[in-house]
Amino acid sequence: MTNTDTKLAQPPVKSATSTMSRADRWDHLLARLGVNRGGHRVEPGLYALGTPTEDSPVFVTANYTLSFDALRSALAGIDGYILVLDTRGINVWCAAGKGTFGTDELVQRIEATALQDVVRHRIVILPQLGAPGVAAHEVRRRTGFRVEYGPVRAQDLPEYLATHQAAPEMRQVRFTLGDRLVLVPVELVHVALPTMTAALALFFVHGFLASFAALAAVLAGVVLFPALLPWIPTRAFSSKGFILGGLVAAPFAAGAILRETRGAWWMRAGIALVYLLAMPPVTAYLALNFTGSTTFTSRTGVRREMFTYIRAMAGLFGGGVALTLVLGLVHLIGGV
């Protein structure tokens, strides 16, 4: 086969732009809301950004639209290639942990796109958060391409390209208030239906206060917890959630005792105990669920938390439900 035949046999290089369209922004909104969560994907392959030459840099990313778009928008005015791996629509960091942003997929994608015939150099620039999934020495052995890890944030790439050296702050993973709050909408969407169902049921059975308590426990877990995460004591997310849930439950417990002084003291104390038993586990469970969205935990740490706290959550919540049933039965029988 001649050199010309080889070039003709190359898979087509797709084109990309750094400009975000309305369709792109709509896709971002739907992704943030968790709508069609697995459908926000870019076709894997090689993309040309601007008018690259055979000496232009090659950047590697996931085929999750938010990852791909963050990279291409950060490279405005830069000519280069973007090699998109098939991560099944999962972002770089999570895909690296799951193994889909990994050595085998990178090697396969380099070979499938005939990257060695597109560029003259032998360097691929990967995001730093993809490092856990890629064995750089294996990639070089199998493809001849050297893996170079760029900065954590795509917006630092233009500065990084000047020297191919990352300043210490480029290597630092931040998890600011904005980073945490951007995750709230998708969590709200996921819990909206079960929360409203539970709140409505509690309203008809136990009244407004119980319904509001259910909403408060959930909102504490999905809104207050990410906002206050760095300042809540203890290291484990579950224990942080119990603390926050207890603080949110305290006013409801106090209200149960103080709002109606004519009822039997033990009945009022029992209702207060229901809030203290049932609300903190709900907040703690939602807080534990947040571990997958943070830079603070590891897979083994999450597993350890689950084994340590899930039974306690279930036991306390079950105790609250059981006490509610007992108090309701006593009220019906004795009219207390």
Both 166 and 256 in a single domain?
no
Quote the tokens at residue 142: 């199998």
Both 80 and 109 in a single domain?
yes
How many structural domains is the chain composed of? 2
Both 157 and 235 in a single domain?
no
Both 306 and 168 in a single domain?
no
pLDDT reading at 6 higher than 70: no
Angle between helices 237-258 and 299-334 (to 10 degrees): 20
The three-point CA angle 19-23-29 to 5° equals: 105
| pTM, 2 dp | 0.79
Among the three residues 173, 200, 235, which one is the final residue of a domain in this structure? 173
The model's confidence at residue 196, banded by pLDDT at 50, 70 and 90, is: very high
For the ranges 90-99, 231-240, 252-261, 268-277, the lowest mean pLDDT is seen at: 252-261
Both 242 and 94 in a single domain?
no
pLDDT at 2: 47
The model's confidence at residue 172, banded by pLDDT at 50, 70 and 90, is: confident
Q: What is the CATH number of the domain that holds 118?
A: 3.40.50.11600
Max CA distance (Å), the chain: 96
- Burial of residue 333 (number of CB atoms within 10 Å: 0-12, 13-18, 19+): exposed
Percent of the chain at pLDDT > 70 equals 93
Angle between helices 22-32 and 65-74 (to 10 degrees): 130
Among the three residues 105, 139, 173, which one is the final residue of a domain in this structure? 173
Residue-wise pLDDT tens digits, 271-304: 899 999 999 999 999 999 887 666 666 667 778 8
Distance between CA atoms of 201 and 211, rounded to whole angstroms?
8
pLDDT at 1: 43
pLDDT reading at 99 higher than 90: no
Both 236 and 269 in a single domain?
yes
Both 113 and 189 in a single domain?
no
| Mean pLDDT for the stretch of residues 111-118 | 96
Q: Are 127 and 101 in contact (CB under 8 A)?
A: no
- Identify the domain containing residue 215 by its residue range: 179-334
Both 122 and 80 in a single domain?
yes
Both 192 and 133 in a single domain?
no
Q: Are 73 and 20 in contact (CB under 8 A)?
A: yes
Both 166 and 315 in a single domain?
no
Among the three residues 142, 173, 204, which one is the final residue of a domain in this structure? 173
Alpha helices in 259-298 (DSSP H): 265-289
pLDDT at 262: 61
Both 19 and 112 in a single domain?
yes
Both 86 and 208 in a single domain?
no
Residue-wise pLDDT tens digits, 24-64: 999 999 999 888 888 899 999 999 999 999 999 999 999 99
| Mean pLDDT for the stretch of residues 157-175 | 89
